[in-house]
Structure 1
Amino acid sequence: MTPHVLIMEDHYIVASSVADLTNSVLPGAEIRKAATFPKGLDLLKTGPPVDLIILDMQLPGGDSYGMVGTLREVQPGVRILIFTASEEPKHALHFFSAGANGFLSKTALPEQVGVAIRTVMDDKKYMTEQVHQLVVESFFKKIAPAKVFDNDVLSPREEDVLALLLEGKQSTQIAQDLNMKISTVSTHKTRIFEKMRVTNVIELFRKLKPED
């Protein structure tokens, strides 16, 4: 079966190089490219099912960690490999929490890119040793006693919704700002309220922004 790959990268040379590397790992792969997130989303909606998305974290038109969830709303089982020039420790955990299958720096050697693609295509997680250590540390941090309303118990998408709630925005505005369905916003709000042990936005605001 011919693998279908979607490369979402706005730099032409980088996208072409990744396409060549992908062809060397997956001979005969059907590869499409998108230089913006909306274009990639359109290709995902209108084209044949995709086996792998190689996604630039800073793709124009995207919303960082939220891109993973948006792509999965279209094709839930698609494998997503984040390919970025940003520092790994700062973003890797958030992307894995959002559901990414792998995280790779653009400074990686071609051999590493090949390993990452093979690993993700085998339905395994790919991460560098540095990121693996962060995952281990994060795990032990989370099983240690912590306040229920600690921000780090929220998913990246819930943090996005929380930030907009604290700005006083309504669900319809949040849905527009984050490019998600109103029903999805409502689900995130419910989970936030449960984790924060509040019943409404006013209580949430008071808990996170207490008066001096």
Structure 2
Amino acid sequence: MTKKILIADDHHVVRIGTAMILEKNFNYFEVDFAETYGEAKQKFESEKYDLIILDIELPGSILKSMVKEIKNISEETLILIFTSYKENIALQYIEEGANGFLNKQSDPEIFVKAIEALFKDGYYYTPEIMNEMLKGSKKKKAVEHLSERELQVFNLLAKGNGNLEIANALNVEESTVGTYKRRIYQKLKITNLIELFHIYKEIH
């Protein structure tokens, strides 16, 4: 059965190169193209695609919101984020519903493997992405082990409040906030506020 694929990328060489790899390795794909997100949206609103290969730097891009928009229109459509960005930003797209994330520097063999996995399993994650997912899961689990009061302090710290502001907000002594802060650092295995900000950002 023929499957329809939309390649949404503003670079002609990428569109043609990607299509050539698909045509060389698969004989049941019908390939379509879009050069902007606006054009891609018009197409996936009027036609059903089995897979959209999406560049997040498309003209008109709304970044990860594109994934949610596509899934709202066609939940069954698979989405492969195909970008020059590294895997460390992949999680935010996967959380929105993307089925895979692949760097454009990947070898053609890896690209073919990704397409095969998407249609067989419904997803494709590189080892690097799996590692990022595992790290994110561990951090989330660590936050879940904070006490109710520690979690309040954690959230207030992440929103830029200092010890005095937190003490006033929670009606406790400033030294008590310092104690909670030390416990939070110990439980999350961090040493500074920048690391705390990163964890907060990853779980929200």
Match of 1:110 in 2: 108
Quick one: which of 128, 132, 143 aligns to 1:130?
Answer: 128
Structure 1 unaligned blocks of 5 or more: 152-212
8 Å CA contact 1:25–1:117 kept in 2: the answer is: no
Report the Cα offset of residue 125 of structure 1: 2.2
C-alpha distance after superposition, 1:65-115 (max 9, x if no partner): 1110011121111000000001221x1010111110000000000000000
Match of 2:119 in 1: 121
More helix by share: 2
Alignment partners' CA distance in 2, 1:75 and 1:60? 22
Alignment partners' CA distance in 1, 2:79 and 2:17? 18
Q: Identity across aligned pairs (percent)?
A: 32
Please provide the CA RMSD for this pair.
Answer: 1.7
Match of 2:196 in 1: none
Alignment partners' CA distance in 2, 1:120 and 1:105? 15
Match of 1:9 in 2: 9
Report the Cα offset of residue 28 of structure 1: 3.4
TM-score normalised by the chain length of structure 2: 0.69
8 Å CA contact 1:57–1:84 kept in 2: the answer is: yes
Runs of 4 or more, structure 1, over 6 Å off, are none
Letter in 2 for 1:59: L
Bigger Rg, structure 1 or 2: 2
Report the Cα offset of residue 35 of structure 1: 0.4
8 Å CA contact 2:78–2:122 kept in 1: the answer is: no
Alignment partners' CA distance in 2, 1:15 and 1:86? 17
- Structure 1 pair 136–40 and aligned structure 2 pair: CA distance change class (3 A): same
Letter in 1 for 2:133: V
Report the Cα offset of residue 150 of structure 1: 4.8
8 Å CA contact 1:3–1:26 kept in 2: the answer is: no
Letter in 1 for 2:90: A
Structure 2 unaligned blocks of 5 or more: 145-150, 157-204
Match of 1:179 in 2: none
Aligned residues: 149
